[in-house]
């Protein structure tokens, strides 16, 4: 006896379907998958870091063409859609759109429950996206960030550690101080890098 295989959705069908749901999903290979943070919930630390990143980038980008978006908006990938914690979209805003028009930077805040998935599976999808130039993987447990940057078609990475570090973001004409990312947080143990 064969298992019932759900009908694969297009991105457009998925967005129409998503509007009728009470939780956020991602589309992976044509199949809706409950967004990992909807399954586990984000920790307070995770949420603080994401909000700090969003607020800092919102202020840095005020009056400029790019805008930060929350995980309520999607980034379309070659496998479907993903919901980064923060996305910087430099495309023309369409009021009813559910996805970034021209994502330049995506941020994933790493938590113990999502670290492997975010670091290995999602990052590869983001790297294949033609307009994404920077991927930030922000540790929620320690002041450290992995920065993936596309330079002349090739991806390079660097790691920044410590509250005195600043992430230069010339791709969006901004900078992101780690002291702002981790404002009001304390650290008890080294993070997992």
For residue range 68-100, what is the model confidence (pLDDT) as tens digits? Answer: 999 888 898 998 889 899 999 999 877 777 789
Q: What is the dihedral of CA 17, 20, 25, 27, to 10 degrees?
A: 0
Look at residue 116 and tell me whether its pLDDT is greater than 70: no
Look at residue 142 and tell me whether its pLDDT is greater than 50: yes
Residue 18 CB coordination number (10 Å): 18
DSSP 1: -
Q: What pLDDT shows up at residue 190? A: 55
* Structure tokens given for 73: 């908006």
49-58 pLDDT, tens digit per residue, is 999 999 999 9
**What's the CA gap between 182 and 160, in Å, rounded?**
13
For the chain, give the number of residues.
Answer: 193
CA angle 50, 36, 61 (to 5 degrees): 25
**What's the CA gap between 45 and 51, in Å, rounded?**
10
State pTM to two decimals. Answer: 0.79
Query: Partners of 167 in the beta sheet?
Result: 176
Q: Which fold has domain 41-181?
A: tt1808, chain A (3.90.1570)
């Amino acid at each position: 006896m064969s298992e019932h295989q759900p009908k694969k959705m297009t991105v457009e069908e998925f967005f129409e379907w998503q509007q009728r749901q009470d939780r956020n999903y991602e589309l992976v290979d044509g199949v809706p998958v409950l967004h990992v943070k909807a399954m586990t919930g984000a920790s307070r630390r995770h949420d603080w870091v994401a909000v700090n990143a969003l607020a800092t980038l919102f202020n840095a980008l005020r009056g400029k063409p790019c805008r930060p978006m929350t995980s309520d908006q999607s980034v379309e990938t070659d496998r479907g859609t993903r919901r980064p914690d923060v996305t910087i979209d430099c495309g023309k805003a369409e009021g009813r759109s559910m996805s970034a028009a021209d994502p330049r930077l995506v941020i994933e805040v790493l938590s113990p429950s999502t670290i492997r998935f975010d670091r290995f599976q999602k990052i590869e999808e983001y790297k294949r996206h033609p307009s994404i130039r920077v991927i930030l993987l922000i540790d929620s447990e320690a002041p450290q960030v992995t920065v993936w940057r596309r330079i002349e078609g090739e991806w390079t990475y660097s790691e920044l550690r410590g509250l005195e570090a600043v992430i230069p973001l010339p791709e969006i004409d901004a900078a992101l101080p780690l002291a702002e990312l981790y404002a009001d947080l304390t650290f008890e143990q080294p993070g997992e890098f």
